[in-house]
């Protein structure tokens, strides 16, 4: 008799880390697979032609959890496999309800930060609210950080990052025809230098806690690039890659009056398309910077006036260093653009404990073992 696996995803990052696993499971006739998606996951799954059922609530209150409870009762899954998000999102709601019903549960992490916050959405205090049977984590670095936050070691299993499996071996150098197509689609002149900025959807109150927002960092970058472009006599395109969860209007992003600097806004596409077509990638604490780093692209992490903890993995590992002042930002960009200084990122996969292209295999193996134990 086939076992039934219920999968739930919401946020873009969580959906992408689960995607290679989902594709493999769908090819395996040992299991019945039911996929439930929040609004961000739905877009990703549709692009990949993966059938899913969508629950459009952006958040589930305890009162609305009756929908999740009903689905679990109807599906009676042998395993509930989810991504992790923030707040009362669909993946967290299914995970919480499944734990209450004593179902087998397995959650897959996608980021190196905010561990406790992902597992307390229905808890009234700041402690971990609920823990699945297993949490797949990226590496031993993550595992130790989570243990330090109070997670039981026996629930944490190092899997690697399945989405990063897809990056290994990708060619960063695109044929000229593909470069031309990308520029034409976004209206970028052939000779412009492209600086890709990974924006993040900051919330009200983040400035006070963090010390900056993406808009503040974007303004600093524009100010610096306007001056550098004119000095170098080199036209630059500042391409703002808007985060998939960002529902703000385009008008919130800053403009430039300089004839040397073009501002282009781009709603999400494939991350690697932006990275491969960029001359330099800049951002704050987005996982997009880790992707860029792994692909060997010159990558700058900018956290001017940061107040909180630096959560970017490559900084924590000592592989990169955050730019924390406007003066350092201006100097670094000037060095690269005017003085042609080459940034040598140590993007060797061996820097990361489980960056071996076998993360998806490990997750599938864990799922098989869980269901064999039933």
**pLDDT: which is higher, 110 or 204:** 110
User: Are the folds of 3-165+355-373 and 176-351 the same?
Assistant: yes
Residue 308's pLDDT band, with cuts at 50, 70 and 90, is confident
Mean pLDDT (the chain) is 89
3-state secondary structure of 264: strand
Residue 123's pLDDT band, with cuts at 50, 70 and 90, is low
- DSSP string covering 105-123: EEEE---SS-TGGGG-TT-
**pLDDT: which is higher, 312 or 126:** 312
Q: Quick one: pLDDT at residue 204?
A: 78
Determine what percent of the chain falls in helix, strand and coil, rounding each to the nearest 5. 40, 15, 45
DSSP 256: -
Q: Quick one: pLDDT at residue 373?
A: 55
Q: What percent of the chain has pLDDT over 70?
A: 92
Q: Quick one: pLDDT at residue 126?
A: 65
Question: 35-81: per-residue pLDDT in tens?
Answer: 999 988 999 999 999 999 998 776 787 777 889 999 999 999 999 99
Tokens of 106: 């397995």
Q: Quick one: pLDDT at residue 339?
A: 87
Q: Show me where the domains of the chain are located.
A: 3-165+355-373, 176-351
3-state secondary structure of 287: helix
Alpha-carbon distance of 54 to 298, in angstroms, equals 38
Question: 85-101: per-residue pLDDT in tens?
Answer: 988 899 999 999 999 99
Tokens of 120: 């307390």
Reported as type and span, the H/E element at residue 25 is helix 12-26
Question: 267-306: per-residue pLDDT in tens?
Answer: 877 888 999 999 999 999 999 999 998 888 899 999 999 9
Contact 278, 174 (CB under 8 A): no
Mean per-residue pLDDT, 218-247: 95
Evaluate if residue 149 carries a pLDDT over 50. yes
Evaluate if residue 217 carries a pLDDT over 50. yes
Which CATH number is correct for 176-351, 3.40.50.720, 3.40.50.12580, 3.40.50.2000, 3.40.50.300? 3.40.50.12580
Residue 309's pLDDT band, with cuts at 50, 70 and 90, is confident
Evaluate if residue 374 carries a pLDDT over 50. no
CB-based contacts of 228, cutoff 8 Å, min separation 6: 236, 330, 333, 334, 337, 338
Contact 299, 289 (CB under 8 A): yes
Question: 3-14: per-residue pLDDT in tens?
Answer: 999 999 999 999
Q: Quick one: pLDDT at residue 228?
A: 96
Per CATH, the number for 3-165+355-373 is 3.40.50.2000
Question: 325-363: per-residue pLDDT in tens?
Answer: 999 999 999 999 998 887 665 555 545 556 788 999 999
Q: What percent of the chain has pLDDT over 90?
A: 64
């Amino acid at each position: 008799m086939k076992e039934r696996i219920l999968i739930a995803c919401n946020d873009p990052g969580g959906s992408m880390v689960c995607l290679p696993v989902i594709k493999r499971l769908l090819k395996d006739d040992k299991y019945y697979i039911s996929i439930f998606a929040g609004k961000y996951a739905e877009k990703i799954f549709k692009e990949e032609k993966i059938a899913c059922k969508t629950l459009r609530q952006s958040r589930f209150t305890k009162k609305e959890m009756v929908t999740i409870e009903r689905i679990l009762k109807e599906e009676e899954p042998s395993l509930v496999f989810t991504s992790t998000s923030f707040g009362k999102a669909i993946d967290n709601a299914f995970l919480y309800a499944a734990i209450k019903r004593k179902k087998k549960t397995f959650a897959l992490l996608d980021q190196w930060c905010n561990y406790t916050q992902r597992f307390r959405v229905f808890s009234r205090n700041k402690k971990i609210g609920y823990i699945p049977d297993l949490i797949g984590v990226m590496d031993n670095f993550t595992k130790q950080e989570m243990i330090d936050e109070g997670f039981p070691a026996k629930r944490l299993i190092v899997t690697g990052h399945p989405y990063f499996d897809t990056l290994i071996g990708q060619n960063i150098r695109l044929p000229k025809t593909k470069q031309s197509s990308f520029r034409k689609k976004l209206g970028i002149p052939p000779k412009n230098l492209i600086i890709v900025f990974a924006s993040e959807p900051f919330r009200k109150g983040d400035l006070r806690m963090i010390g900056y927002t993406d808009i503040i960092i974007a303004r600093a970058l524009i100010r610096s690039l306007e001056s550098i472009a004119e000095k170098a006599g080199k036209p630059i395109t500042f391409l703002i890659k808007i985060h998939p969860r960002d529902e703000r209007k385009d008008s919130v992003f800053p403009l430039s009056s300089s004839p040397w600097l073009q501002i282009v806004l781009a709603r999400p596409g494939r991350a690697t398309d932006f990275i491969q077509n960029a001359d330099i990638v800049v951002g704050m604490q987005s996982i997009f910077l880790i992707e860029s780093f792994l692909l060997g692209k010159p990558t700058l992490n900018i956290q001017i006036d940061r107040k909180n903890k630096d959560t970017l993995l490559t900084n924590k590992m000592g592989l990169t260093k955050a730019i924390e002042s406007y003066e350092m930002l201006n100097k670094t960009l000037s060095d690269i653009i005017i003085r042609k200084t080459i940034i040598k990122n140590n993007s060797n996969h061996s820097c990361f404990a489980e960056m071996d292209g076998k993360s998806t295999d490990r997750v599938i193996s864990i799922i098989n073992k869980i269901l064999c134990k039933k």
